[in-house]
């Protein structure tokens, strides 16, 4: 007795087509979910290795960009503070040189200089980036120079 298996050719073709469609759908889902055409080494080892190297390069460039942005922020803050300090120092110079003229009250000039020293301290205290003061010193300008302890009259004599 011979055994005979009847096959439905149309059903087999439809099943192969369904399997191919399912595989293509799975590949498309993987591409959409990962955002990469080659998401594992089994997809295409050479392309995967190149993609991983490029992802590493992109991460490195992003880190460098963040570092440069931070450095630019530091330079900008420091430049702003030093510009403010330089202009205040010019005002102090003008206030002290004007005391040499006649009719200038020394206590008024001293009060003016002390106000300028407060501006210097304020500019130095406000030069912070990410909570770090860039121009922080051991003490305020007045305490370091001793200007608050003395009057301007001995300096001008």
Q: What is the pLDDT of residues 65-117, one digit of tens each?
A: 999 999 999 999 999 999 999 999 999 888 888 777 666 677 888 888 899 99
- pTM exceeds 0.85 for this model: no
Q: Which tens digit of pLDDT belongs to each residue from 21-70?
A: 999 998 888 778 777 777 777 778 888 888 889 989 999 999 999 999 99
DSSP string, 49-74: HHHHHHHHHHHHHHHHHHHHHHHHHH
DSSP E strands, 52-150: 128-129, 132-133
Q: How far apart are the first and last CA of the chain?
A: 135
In angstroms, what CA-CA distances link 137 with 91, 127, 143?
A: 22, 12, 11
């Amino acid at each position: 007795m011979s055994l005979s298996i009847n096959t439905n050719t149309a059903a087999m073709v439809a099943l192969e087509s369904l399997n191919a469609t399912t595989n293509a759908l799975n590949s498309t889902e993987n591409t959409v979910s990962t955002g990469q055409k080659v998401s594992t080494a089994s997809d295409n080892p050479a392309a995967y290795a190149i993609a991983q190297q490029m992802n590493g390069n992109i991460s490195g460039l992003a880190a460098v960009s963040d570092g440069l942005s931070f450095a630019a922020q530091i330079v900008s803050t420091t430049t702003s503070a030093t510009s403010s300090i330089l202009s205040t120092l010019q005002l102090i110079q003008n206030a002290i040189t004007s005391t040499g003229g006649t009719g200038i009250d020394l206590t008024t000039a001293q009060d003016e200089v002390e106000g300028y020293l407060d501006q210097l301290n304020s500019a130095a205290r406000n030069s912070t980036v990410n909570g770090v003061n860039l121009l922080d010193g051991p003490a305020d300008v007045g305490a370091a120079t001793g200007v608050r302890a003395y009057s301007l009259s001995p300096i001008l004599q």
